[in-house]
Every structure is written in C-alpha cells, then in structure tokens.
Amino acid sequence: MGTLRVVLRAALISICLTTTALSDIWTVDDDSMADFDNIQAAVDAASNGDEIIVMPGIYTGTGDQVVDTLGKEIWLHSYCYEPIRSNTRLVAYIDAEGARRGIHCHSNETSNTIIEGFTFANGYAATGGGMYNYNSSPMIINCIFSGNTAENGGGMSNTFNSNPTMTNCTFISNTANYGGGMESYESSPSLTNCTFVGNTANYGGGVNNWQSNLTLMSCSFTSNNANNGGGGIYNNPKSTLTLTYTTLCGNMPDQIYGDWNDNGNNTISEECSIGCPDLNGDGIVNVSDLLNIIEQWGLINSYADVNLDGAVDVSDLLIVISNWGPCE
C-alpha cells in the first residue's frame, strides 16, 4: 500500500492538477486500489492542509450524509475532473441514494476547505439535499448538483452565517419547498459562472434568498419553476440581491420576485433569445459550428449550449442546422 501511494502521488501531481505544497495526499477509489475505498474514511484520516484525490466512480454512504468535512482545511477534489459531461461519469459521483444528503459542512469551515469537481446527486434531507452549509463558508468549484430534494434548498442550503464562494457550478433538476436549486438564510453566498436549470420549488425555483445577501456574477437561470413566485430567484424583502453579467430567462411564473441591485450587463427576459448560433464568431453558421457542437457534446456549462438548457445535446445541433448560413 505504501508503494502504491508513492506512485499515485507522483503520477497525480504530474498529470492532473497543480497546487502549492500540502501536508499529505490521500487517494480514494471505489475499487479499493487506493488509500481508501470511501471518501469519509479519507476525511477522517486527513489533517488540516491535506489533499484528498477521489478517482472517478460512484460513492455512497451511511447515516445522514455521504461526506462530512468535519471542519477540516482540506482540498477534496476528483481526479482530472474536466471535462464534466452530462452523459458520462468522468467525475467522482456522490450518490446519496435518496436516503441522505450528499455533503455537510457545519464546523466553521472556511475557504480553506475546498470542494472541487464532484457531482452530488439523489440527495434527500430536510435541509440541503445535495449540500448543507451551516455556519460554514467552503470554496466550491466545478461541481454539479442534480436531482436532489429537500424542504429547504434542494441542491444546497446555506444557513446562519454561511458564506460559500462557488465557481462554475451547475444546479439542475433539484426540488424543494423553498429554493429548488439553492436556499440561503442569514448568509452571504457568492456565485460566479454558475448555472441553474430546471429546478422546482414553491418559492424560488432557482434560488430562495431569505434574509441573506446573494451576489451573482456571470450566472444564468433558465427553465426554473416556482408555484408561488420567484421562478428564477425569490428575494425576500429583508435580503440583498446583486447581479452582474447575469441572465434570467424562461423561468416561470417570473424571473425575479422582489427587489434587486443591477450592477450592469444583465439580461432579464420572459423568453430566452437564442440568436445566431455562430459559435466560432466568423459571421456564418456552417460546418465549423457543427464541429464545435460535436466536440462539446454532453458538456455542462459549455459555450456550445446554444439553448441554455444545461448541456450540449441534439437540441443544440438542430438549432445550428436550422440557422445554416450567414447571420442576419
């Protein structure tokens, strides 16, 4: 086991991601060909400053959540997670099996706790089906929250001074009473380049912002639904919502419920305007754009997702074909 660990350490550092020197590196693989065969065991063993590399696979757990980060300052990430594809599991896939939440941060985690490159799916809990941050502010990068369910925050819940920073994350097809994709209460999350698609709730299909300060930069909200308002975002009167370079369109029954601060370059529309699908910017839709679609097939958060439904698929291919020729 010691020899394997040394070999994996050298290979992973040279092939995959780069970072500053950390105290120790642990590996997780669900076929047991690593230090641990489950993520929680690696977290239990880790110390502050350690790195945990999780190989592609399907990871389940017991109890109330699959993973509890235990307040540790660790870099928990999947191995060479890019590209993230909707139709394959190249990332570490955390499956809560409809019986528990995916991950829990509740011990004063800060941005020194980094969670990167996971898919959190099939979570079920009263609060935070995919992820629950309680008085914790981890850094979350390149993660997908899909098919999770909760009373509050289907994909994620942030409560009581939780101020996570999220980059390149996708919330798709999550369900809740409050905040299908994400719910925040007395917290201040900050999101950059995040996507909310097809989430459902009674209040806040995409996000329910309750007595919180939410900052969105270059995010998109499409095809989210709420029965009682805030198809895209429900912003409570005691909350602050600030948008920059953010798009909300095609959400039902409305895009934003409540007041919000416009920092510029936002697009708020009842219908999503596709425009000319000229993906390479040469002024004409032709075989080059078709090849872009094929190259990006199945990718999440891709420039080739022409209809903004969360993934590059046959719908985008048909849009390119139907707009063949010069852009008008």
Asked whether residue 274 is assigned to any structural domain, the reply reads no
In this structure, the answer to whether residues 41 and 173 fall within a common structural domain is yes
Q: Domain of residue 312: give its range.
A: 284-326
Helix then strand then coil, in percent of the chain rounded to 5, is: 10, 35, 50
Confidence of residue 3 (pLDDT cuts 50, 70, 90): very low
> What is the pLDDT at residue 301?
65
Name the domain count of the chain.
2
Q: What is the 3-state secondary structure (H, E, C) of 182-224?
A: EEEECCCCEEECCEEECCEECECCCEEEECCEEEEECCEEECC
Domain end point (choices 269, 294, 314): 269
Q: Please report whether residue 279 resides in a domain.
A: no
**Full-model pTM:** 0.86
| Statement: residue 90 has pLDDT above 70 | no
Q: Which CATH number goes with the domain that contains 193?
A: 2.160.20.10
Q: Is the pLDDT of residue 5 over 50?
A: no
251 contacts 231 by C-beta, under 8 angstroms: yes
Cα separation, 162 vs 5, in Å, equals 35
Residues 203 and 316 in one domain: no
Which of 3-12, 20-29, 302-311 is predicted least confidently? 3-12
Q: In this predicted model, what pLDDT tens digit does every residue of 173-198 receive, in sequence order?
A: 999 999 999 999 999 999 999 999 99
Q: What is the mean pLDDT of the chain?
A: 89
* pLDDT (0 to 100) of residue 282: 87
In this structure, is the dihedral angle defined by the CA atoms of residues 284, 286, 291 and 293, taken in order, positive or negative? positive
If you average pLDDT over residues 67-95, what whole number do you get?
A: 76
**124 and 80 belong to one structural domain:** yes
Neighbour count for residue 285 (Cβ, 10 Å): 22
How large a percentage of the chain has pLDDT more than 70?
A: 89
Same domain flag for 94 and 233: yes
Most confident of 74-88, 280-294, 297-311: 280-294
In a domain, 276, yes or no: no
Interatomic CA distance for residues 84 and 93, integer angstroms: 11
Determine contact, residues 19/51, Cβ cutoff 8 Å: yes
- Collect all residues with Cβ–Cβ distance below 8 Å to 62 and sequence separation of at least 6: 100
Residue 79: the pLDDT is: 85
Mean pLDDT in residue range 228-254: 97
* 198 and 130 fall within a common domain: yes
SS3 71: coil
Domain stops at, among 221, 241, 269: 269
**Predicted pLDDT at 310:** 77
Both 59 and 198 in one domain: the answer is: yes
Residue in the structure block whose two tokens are 């040394």: 6
